[in-house]
Amino acid sequence: MEQDTLFINRELSWLEFNRRVLALSKDKEVPLAEQLKFAAIYGSNLDEFFMVRVGSLQDQLALDGDKADAGSRNAVAAQQLNAIMPVVAELQGLCDKYVNQLEENLREKGYNKLNFDKLTKEQERFWKKYFEAELFPLLSPQIIDHRHPFPFLRNQEIYLGVTLKNKGDSEVSFGIIPVSSQFERVLYLQQDGVTWYALVEELIAHYAPMAFGRWSVQKKCLFRVTRNADITPDEGLMDQDIDYREVMTELLKKRRKLAAVRIQFWPEAPQEIQHFLCQKLILSGKRCFVQQSPLDLSCLFRLASRLASDGHTELCYPAARPMQAPADYNLEEQVQHRDVLLCYPYQSIRPFIKMLKKAAYDPDVLSIKMTLYRVARESQIVQALVAAAENGKEVVTVVELRARFDEQNNIDWSKQLEQAGCTVIYGFDNYKVHSKLTLITRKKNGKFQYISQIGTGNYNEKTSEQYTDLSFITSNQEIGEEVAAVFNNLAVERLTPQVENLLVAPLCFKSVLMQEMDREIQAARDGHPARILLKNNSINDKDIILKLSEASCAGVPVDMIVRGICCVKAGVPGLTENLRVRSIVGRYLEHSRIYAFGVGEDVRVYIASGDFLTRNTQRRVEVGVRVRQPDLVARLLEILRLELEDNVNAREMRPNGKYVRVKPADGQARIDSQMLLYDLFREDFHVAPPAAAAPKRVGILERLRNFFRR
């Protein structure tokens, strides 16, 4: 089998995902303020891509440049970097074009970007006065010559670089002014009914000659450095006498000083400044990007917020808030009668938080155990755990200190949890604990009772309103015992080898799902109806890709909803002609993982914390669960159905790996799955029916059967 025929390079696939994000910044069906946000998200995504993925490839190149990365079509690091940079340059050109159009659209709405080369006399007086009063006292200009060494340039901060001459000197010196993050990035001025906005770095660049005194500024340009952030615990630090939290604290300090991987320049940046900085930062010209758009696109978030605060609701998405449970809704009581599935952001996370808070004070509750990967800055969930510990409950938290870019937040929370009396576990040396798992243990009438929660998303109140995620809560005692076993294994750094009801990576996650695929393959070969439906964030696991190709060749219809990285080509004759891939990128970040196998009443549906990336299947502790209650199965299938019929947010992959936007056919209604799911969950939270009554919504199964037999 030709690798190029079936597989797509992981890094190039990710860049194609970010292209889909960027495309929303020019989508006329997206409100202007939201277009600004998508451009900003594109920039933030690209920053992280360079810090993590390009940083990792750069490390490979430095340490073992001739060793191939088997997970990337056997391309060595140098080849991958050479393939990445032209695509980034192409995307940068598109970004400049789209942002320029956004600025024109803002002008039509009365928001004009200030051009400091074309100031009126009145504007010149105002901004000069502002610079002298508010910025000049805080500037820290630096001269670089044989007496003044080249300074350390902070990751992701903007600087002004200049060439300087002293009166009577023939030599040229270099100077740098840091644009401190303490400055307000976007400045506003109301004038004659128009809102003028200016970027603080451009204001500093305009008045830079005032900052260097007797030196004469010859040429100048703004620039921004991105540094490698791909750090892992160093074996030399893993001393038995050193607390792991101290190790991570030291590594965070190290991250700030890692090598540069990219430099962005202002338009028409002088060649001598570019050459000087590349030489000092040891960067090739391919890592230098000259751009028309702002060097740090996060300023567009601020502009979007300004539009909203000025009352331009028509420029924003219509308000859509999570459905709140009735005031008397008691999740703990409901889950004693039936399994419950909360679907974010369509339903609120509050019932779960309320259940945790109640458990913290319930005299029957003996313990609460939870895995914490990413939590909110002001986490009510952590506060509930603290309250439980202070009330004498046994509270065990598995805190993953290696949650990238959330390390410091997790370090801080782990300290607070310990101070409250919680047992804090950091997980494994070689496996990240990425599962979303909670276990509440009660003892009533002399018997132990479990409430288990298995989720696809983090315990984070903020992201629960921005990400689509699933939270499964059950009082099933068998599941509770298995969840308890997982926590016990985590406590002693042991992988869970076998379970009946759960999926637990790395030992019994991929293998179980591949067995499910084998069942569908065999069904198709026997002439029976078969189907595979997979919704997740990313896929690059080679074994799974080959199994999906086998399923396609056996005649199994395979539908995949993959938001981001997808390393398998769809619709390739003889390999994946029965496999369809679509990506949904819209108002909410699609984050839930749903894996469904079979048709009709035989359909088997799982939710899980793990994707089909090799890191999830082999190097992380992930947990999933099979959902068996008919109405909840129906609800999950309804989510898949709507997303497979989406013609607003969806793009489908072609056999060449490129994506094409799905549009409504002539006369066809617009199907926005993200908005229609509000209608699905608009009814009140489920209230447990009497024991003899049929489960609510079971009728959906009948409605779905024909669809899933297609």
- C-alpha closest to that of 499 among 615, 594, 610, 626: 626
Q: How far apart are CA 530 and CA 383, in angstroms?
A: 47
Q: Decide if 204 contacts 139 (C-beta within 8 A).
A: yes
Q: How far apart are CA 702 and CA 481, in angstroms?
A: 33
Cis peptide before 233 (omega within 30 of 0): no
Q: What is each CA distance from 629 to 341, 600, 697, in whole angstroms?
A: 10, 14, 11
Q: Decide if 225 contacts 157 (C-beta within 8 A).
A: yes
Q: How far apart are CA 574 and CA 553, in angstroms?
A: 7
Please identify which residue in the block is written with the tokens 């499910």.
Answer: 516
Q: Catalytic: which of 148, 337, 434, 591? A: 434
Q: For residue 283, what are its two tokens?
A: 């960067």
**Is 686 a known active-site residue?**
no
- C-alpha closest to that of 503 among 529, 472, 467: 472
Q: For residue 691, what are its two tokens?
A: 């024991």
Radius of gyration of the chain (CA): 28
Q: How would DSSP label each residue in 481-509?
A: HHHHHHHHHHHTT------SSEEETTTBS
DSSP state of 599: S
Q: How far apart are CA 589 and CA 563, in angstroms?
A: 8
| First-to-last C-alpha distance (Å) of the chain | 29
Cβ neighbours for 691, distance < 8 A, ≥ 6 positions apart: 337
Q: How far apart are CA 336 and CA 357, in angstroms?
A: 17
∠ CA 331-335-341, nearest 5°, is: 80
Q: How far apart are CA 272 and CA 163, in angstroms?
A: 8
Cβ neighbours for 153, distance < 8 A, ≥ 6 positions apart: 159, 176, 225, 260, 281
Q: For residue 113, what are its two tokens?
A: 């970007």
Neighbouring C-beta atoms of residue 396, cutoff 10 Å: 21
- C-alpha closest to that of 540 among 47, 50, 13, 56: 13
Q: Which residues are catalytic?
A: 434
